Amino acid sequence: MRERAVHRRTCGAHEEHRRLLNTDPAYAANRAIIESQAWEVERGMRSLERSGVTQIPVVVHVVYTTATNNISDAQIQSQIDVLNHDFRKTNADVANVPSVWQSLATDARISFYLATSDPNGQATNGITRTHTSTITFHSQTDDIKSAASGGADPWPSANYLNLWVGPRIVNAQGQELLGYAQFPGGPAATDGVAIVHSGFGTSGTAASPYNLGRTATHEIGHWLNLFHIWGDDGTGCTGSDQCGDTPNAGGPNFGAPGFPHVTCNNGPSGDMFMNYMDYTDDRAMFMFTSDQVTRMQATLDGPRSSIGSTWLIPWTKFTRFTKFTNFTWLTKFTGFTFITPFTEFTWFTRFTGDPPPFEIDPLIQIADLVFALSELLIANVPELKEAADRLAPVGVTHLHELIAAEPDALAQAIGSNAHAVKALQSDARNSLARMNKSAS
C-alpha cells in the first residue's frame, strides 16, 4: 500500500491527553499533582533536584510491514544524535533564533542513549524489531504499543523511554499523524512516544520536510510535560502552555514562517514559531526556552524521577551494606538520594548529577561506590582525616562511626566542603570504573 504523506505537522499528544483526562480518573488525579509540582518549581517554591545532565536510556521498537520501513540501525542512531543536540542546545541552527530570544534558548540538560541492558539485565543494542501485518496504527487505542494488537510491548517505563516507530499512525478522526506522546502521569503500559518511520531520524526513509529528527524532539517534549506553544485552545488567545517566557500565540504555525508572525497582540516579535513545541517544519524549529526546561526538569524530579541513572536495588545485594548503620545520613552527604522503601526487599536509590559509568551489575557496585566514596571523604576532608586518625586507636574507622562519634562538627565539615565532595564523587566513580576493568 502506498503511504500517504503528511503535508502539515500533526501531533496526537494533546488529543490523547484529553482522552485520558476524560476516561482515566487516575490520570486526571496524577495530572493535578504533576501540574502543582511544576507550578511550585516555576515559582521558586521548590528547587530542582537534578544537577548536571540526566542520561535517559531509550529503547526503539521498530514495528514494520516491509523491508523498507524496517528502518536501519543507522537511521535510529541518527535520531538519537539529533536528540542529543537539541536537548543540549548544541544544534547548529540554534544560531537562527531571532536575537530578541537568543538569551531564552536553553540547554535542557538531558541526553539520550540506546539502552545497553534489557529489562532482564542482558546486553542489548536498545532496538527491538517486530514484523506486523498491521499497516495502520491508531493513537486512540495505542495499538502499536502492544504485541497483542500487532505492535510491540513496552519495556518498563520507569526505567526506559519507549519509542515506537511504525508504518502509519492515525488519530480518532483518521487523520495522518507524524507522531504522538503520552504526557507524564498516564498508564505505564502505554507510556512513551510513537512516530511514523518517515518522520524519524535524518537518513533512510526519513522524508522532507520531517527529515531532521524534530518530530521526536517535539514528542519527547510532551513526554516531559511540555504543552504546545500556542496553548492548545485552537486559534484563540486564552490558552497557555504554562510557560511565562513563550509569547501568547493564536494557533499553530506551519511550514517555515517568516519572522515576525504577530498574533494575539504579541508584537513586535510575535509567535515563537521556531520553538520545538510549535508545528513548524523540522528545519524551522530549533529551541526550548528556560521555562520549558524548568518544566522538563520538574518532570524528571517528579513523575519521571525513576528514569535516568536510577536502579531498583534488591536489599539482598548489599552484602557490605550492613556495615552502615545510618545509610540515609550518608547518602545525604554523598549525593545519593534514598527515596523510599519500596517493598520489604527492595529500595530505590538515585544518583544526582552525572550518571556513573556502570555497565555491569550496578546493584553491587552502588554499595561499593558508597564505600569508595566514604574512604575518599575521610582522606580528603581535613576534619574527617583528623578525627579518623584520632579515633582509630579506639576502633572507630568507618565514616558512619566517625560521624556517630562527633556528629555536629563533622556534619558541618562535610557540608562546608560541598565542592570537594562533588569532586570526590567523580573520583569514586572513576575508581570504580577502573576496578571493574581490572576485574573483568
Q: Does residue 293 bind Zn ion (CB under 5 A)?
A: no
Our finding on whether 170 is near Zn ion (CB under 5 A) is: no
Position among 11, 195, 229, 377 found at the interface with Zn ion (CB under 5 A) = 11
* Window 331-390: residues binding Zn ion (CB under 5 A): none
Q: Give 166 or 204: the residue with its C-beta nearer to Zn ion.
A: 166
Distance in Å, CB of 200 to Zn ion, minimum: 15
Considering only the stretches 3-11, 32-40, 117-125, 429-437, report the one whose residues sit in contact with Zn ion under the rule CB under 5 A.
3-11
Give the integer Cα–Cα distance in Å for 117 and 289. Answer: 33
402 counts as binding Zn ion under rule CB under 5 A: no
Identify which range of 12-20, 76-84, 110-118, 242-250 contacts Zn ion by CB under 5 A: 12-20
Size (the chain), residues: 440
Exposed e or buried b per residue across 400-436, where buried means at least 16 C-beta atoms within 10 angstroms of its C-beta: bbbbeebeeebeebbeebeeebeebbeebbebbeeeb
Asked if 229 is part of the footprint of Zn ion (rule: CB under 5 A), the reply reads no
Distance (Å, whole) CA 189 – CA 383: 50
Nearer to Zn ion, 11 or 424 (CB): 11
- Least CB distance to Zn ion at residue 295 (A): 14
**Residue 226 interacts with Zn ion (CB under 5 A)?**
no
In whole angstroms, what is the distance from residue 196 CA to residue 153 CA? Answer: 17
Of 219, 383, 386, 401, the catalytic one is 219
Separation between Cα atoms, residue 152 and residue 61, nearest integer Å: 7
Bond preceding residue 184 cis, omega within 30 of 0: no
403 is an interface residue for Zn ion by CB under 5 A: no
Check if 383 is active-site.
Answer: no
- Rg over alpha carbons for the chain, rounded to the nearest Å, is 24
CB of 83 to Zn ion, least distance (A): 16
CB neighbour burial string for 244-262, b if at least 16 within 10 angstroms, e if fewer: eebbbbbbbbbeebeebbe
User: Contact between 330 and Zn ion (CB under 5 A)?
Assistant: no
List of residues 6+ apart from 43 with CB closer than 8 A? none
Q: Please choose, out of 13-21, 86-94, 331-339, 422-430, the segment that lies near Zn ion by the rule CB under 5 A.
A: 13-21
In the complex with Zn ion, the residue whose CB is nearer, 57 or 221, is 221
Q: Is 177 in the site for Zn ion (CB under 5 A)?
A: no
Q: How many CA atoms lie within 13 A of 19 on its CB side?
A: 16
Q: With contacts defined by CB under 5 A, name the span among 8-16, 31-39, 238-246, 268-276 that binds Zn ion.
A: 8-16
| 82 forms part of the interface with Zn ion (CB under 5 A) | no
CB of 440 to Zn ion, least distance (A): 44
**With respect to Zn ion, which residue has the nearer C-beta, 12 or 154?**
12
In sequence order, the β-bridge partners of residue 44 are: none
Q: Which is nearer to Zn ion, 13 or 388 (CB)?
A: 13
The nearest distance, CB 192 to Zn ion, in angstroms, is 14
6 binds Zn ion (CB under 5 A): no
Nearer to Zn ion, 11 or 307 (CB): 11
Size of the residue set binding Zn ion (CB under 5 A):
2
CB of 228 to Zn ion, least distance (A): 5
Query: CB–CB of 246/237 below 8 Å?
Result: no
- Residue 220 interacting with Zn ion (CB under 5 A): no
DSSP state of 109: -
Which one among 13, 63, 193, 388 touches Zn ion, defined by CB under 5 A? 13
Residue 47 is which amino acid?
A: S
Q: Phi/psi of residue 161, each to 5°?
A: -85, 115
Please identify which residue in the block is written with the cell numbers 566514596: 373
Q: In angstroms, what is the minimal distance from the CB of 11 to Zn ion?
A: 3
Q: How far is the CB of 9 from Zn ion (least distance, A)?
A: 8
- Let me know: does 85 contact 216? Beta carbons within 8 Å: no
Angle, helices 327-334/362-380, rounded to nearest 10 degrees: 70
Q: By C-alpha distance, which of 225, 229, 213, 232 is closest to 74?
A: 213
216 binds Zn ion (CB under 5 A): no
Q: Any idea which residues carry the catalytic annotation?
A: 219
User: Where does this chain bind Zn ion (CB under 5 A)?
Assistant: 11, 13
